[in-house]
C-alpha cells in the first residue's frame, strides 16, 4: 500500500505541510514533520503540501527507500536507523 514518507534529513521544520494538510502531518518532538495518517492519499491538500514543501522532503511511495531489505510495512526488519516503517 502506498504511504507518505517525510525525509527527516531534508525537512527543515518550516510547517508548510502541517498548515496546509493537518489531516496527514503534525510536528514531532524535534519540530520536524511527522506523518500521522496515510489514509485519503487522493486529497488535494496532500498534493498541495507535497508541492509546497521547499525541500522536497515529502514523498508517497510503496515503501521508504532506505535499503533493499526494507519491506515498507510494520513487519520490516531492516536495520536502517532512518527507516520510516518503524
* Residues within the interface to ligand SF4 (CB under 6 A): 6, 11-17, 33, 53-55, 57-58
The span from the CA of 26 to the CA of 76, in Å, is: 24
Nearer to ligand SF4, 9 or 68 (CB): 9
Nearer to ligand SF4, 18 or 80 (CB): 18
CB of 14 to ligand SF4, least distance (A): 4
E-state strands within 1-86 = 3-6, 25-27, 33-35, 58-61
Nearer to ligand SF4, 16 or 70 (CB): 16
CB of 26 to ligand SF4, least distance (A): 10
**Grid cell of 30 as nine digits:** 524535534
Burial of 68 (0-12, 13-18, 19+ CB in 10 A): exposed
Amino acid at each position: 500500500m502506498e504511504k507518505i514518507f517525510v525525509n527527516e534529513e531534508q525537512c527543515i521544520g518550516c510547517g508548510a505541510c502541517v498548515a496546509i494538510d493537518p489531516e496527514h502531518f503534525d510536528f514531532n518532538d524535534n519540530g520536524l514533520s511527522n506523518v500521522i495518517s496515510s489514509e485519503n492519499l487522493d486529497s488535494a491538500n496532500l498534493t498541495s503540501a507535497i508541492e509546497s514543501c521547499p525541500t522536497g522532503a515529502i514523498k508517497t511511495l510503496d515503501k521508504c527507500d532506505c535499503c533493499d531489505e526494507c519491506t515498507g510495512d510494520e513487519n520490516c526488519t531492516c536495520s536502517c536507523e532512518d527507516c520510516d516503517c518503524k
